[in-house]
Amino acid sequence: MPEAPREVTLSVVVPFYDEEGCVGRVLCACLAAVRGMGAAAEVIAVDDGSSDGSLAEARAVAGVTVLSHGRNRGYGAALATGFEAARGEWLAFLDADGTCDPACLPGMLAKARAEGLDVVVGARLHEGACMPPVREAGNRLFRSLLRLAGVDEVSDVASGIRVLSREAYERMAPLPEGMCFTPAMSARALLDPALSIGEVPVPYAERVGASKLCPLCDGVNFLRVILETALVYRPQRVFGWASAGFLTLAALLFVFPLGGPSSPLASVLRSGPEPWMYFRFVLIAVAFALAVFLVPLGLVAQSLVGVIHRDRRGAPVGPGRLGAMTRVLPGLAAASFVVGVAANAGPLGSYLRTGHISGEYWVAPIVGAVLTALGVQLLGFWVAAKIAEIILEKERARSRRP
């Protein structure tokens, strides 16, 4: 009777594309690293349509499972192919360009198991790492963006060496097929309340051969993916920062000249609005309205997102203490609407008496129209917030059932 295949603990996936002269060395190092673990492991190499001798070099390494795409489909697609073929309870991957040391993988797996982490990232941003300055600056920018979303557990969000549980990968999938695979994984693991992530400092050497990464094009795509992920997982944070930005803009336009003859605030206090300010007041009103509009939008969106992205116990995650702000929306809506209507009383009276609106009243219609529309919007958000609250309560009750 044939012996049953041994259960695999760790599957190491190495994607490569035109890495002749390096991929064989990296695969041999992977085999050496996993053989010393004392647990069953496998190494899978995935050729992403190489046009040089990389595929033959990989096939020449005994003990490695080699898969091949017929054409170049992307870094993320190669990793997905390897993960689909992997049998391990834990998954790992690293680049085939010689920058990452496979000897770090056992320690990363040990950290994940000891601390109950779902994902462990190899952190390359430290002294002694041979990372090009442009890429280091980009990594620090991406980390700063994720900090604004409220997470700071990982310093190197684009690292190409990681260990993760199969369950975590399946929760994060599908991931982008191109170079955005790693930042998308970092952002999802950091922002998903059901996943935990940590990092281990790893050495980072100068790569062998020419880089396939375009700092500008791929950097823009990395930025887009991180912002999209933050918007999907933490809309409350994203809209909150946007609201703060619009509120700051409105204040700057009102307090400082910014190209005008004088400060609108100073002019209003001195002699009242002047004709040149009308367009400025339109900009201020729009910026202020957007600032107020985005706050309840973020709260409602976060409530709905919580139904999808649940915590480790499977319970929905709502907007937290800030959700209490939705209770004041009806009062704010009524106040905004009443003040807006009252602001238009003077211009409307002038129009009814004379058939036109005199210059002294032009600021009032702007402010009145914005406040009236804002009142209606806030009332609509309150209704949406109540619906989201009902959905969350129903899902929480369902998650508590045995």
Asked whether residue 302 carries a pLDDT value surpassing 90, the answer given is no
State the Cα–Cα distance between residues 330 and 382, nearest whole angstrom: 7
State the Cα–Cα distance between residues 25 and 98, nearest whole angstrom: 8
pLDDT averaged over every residue in the chain: 86
Q: How far is CA 200 from CA 13, 122, 182, 292, in A?
A: 19, 5, 16, 42
Nearest to 44 by CA among 4, 84, 17, 74: 84
Q: What is the mean pLDDT of residues 114-134?
A: 85
Confidence at residue 42, expressed as pLDDT on a 0 to 100 scale: 95
Confidence at residue 54, expressed as pLDDT on a 0 to 100 scale: 94
Q: What is the mean pLDDT of residues 301-305?
A: 84
- pLDDT-derived band at 214 (thresholds 50, 70, 90) equals confident
30 or 391: whose pLDDT is higher? 30
**Cβ–Cβ under 8 Å, residues 343 and 305:** no
Confidence at residue 101, expressed as pLDDT on a 0 to 100 scale: 94
Model confidence over 277-300: pLDDT tens digits?
778 888 888 898 899 889 888 888
Model confidence over 52-66: pLDDT tens digits?
999 999 999 999 999
Strand order in the sheet with 90-93: 64-68, 41-47, 10-16, 90-93, 162-165, 119-123, 197-201
- pLDDT-derived band at 316 (thresholds 50, 70, 90) equals low
Model confidence over 163-181: pLDDT tens digits?
999 999 999 999 999 999 9
Model confidence over 63-90: pLDDT tens digits?
999 999 989 999 999 999 999 999 999 9
Confidence at residue 60, expressed as pLDDT on a 0 to 100 scale: 96
**Cβ–Cβ under 8 Å, residues 23 and 54:** yes
- pLDDT-derived band at 270 (thresholds 50, 70, 90) equals confident
All structural domains of the chain with their residue ranges: 10-232, 235-395
Nearest to 223 by CA among 162, 144, 115, 341: 144
State the Cα–Cα distance between residues 185 and 219, nearest whole angstrom: 15
State the Cα–Cα distance between residues 167 and 165, nearest whole angstrom: 5
User: Strands 90-93 and 119-123, how do they pair?
Assistant: unpaired
Model confidence over 191-207: pLDDT tens digits?
988 899 999 999 988 88
Asked whether residue 348 carries a pLDDT value surpassing 80, the answer given is no
Asked whether residue 24 carries a pLDDT value surpassing 50, the answer given is yes
Q: What is the mean pLDDT of residues 33-50?
A: 89
Cis peptide leading into residue 174 (ω within 30°): yes
Asked whether residue 2 carries a pLDDT value surpassing 50, the answer given is no
State the Cα–Cα distance between residues 36 and 218, nearest whole angstrom: 36
Confidence at residue 359, expressed as pLDDT on a 0 to 100 scale: 59
- pLDDT-derived band at 276 (thresholds 50, 70, 90) equals confident
State CA 182 to chain mean position distance.
Answer: 12
Predicted TM-score (pTM) of this structure = 0.77
Asked whether residue 1 carries a pLDDT value surpassing 50, the answer given is no
Q: What is the mean pLDDT of residues 138-155?
A: 83
Model confidence over 178-191: pLDDT tens digits?
999 999 999 999 99
Query: Any residues with CB less than 8 A from the CB of 47 and at least 6 apart, and which?
Result: 16, 17, 54, 55, 58, 66, 67, 68, 69, 78
State the Cα–Cα distance between residues 162 and 301, nearest whole angstrom: 31
- Of the ranges 55-69, 232-246, 317-331, which one carries the lowest mean pLDDT score? 317-331
* Residue 302 CB-half CA count within 13 A: 27
CATH 3.90.550.10 fits 10-232, yes or no: yes
359 or 242: whose pLDDT is higher? 242
Model confidence over 370-388: pLDDT tens digits?
888 888 888 888 888 888 7
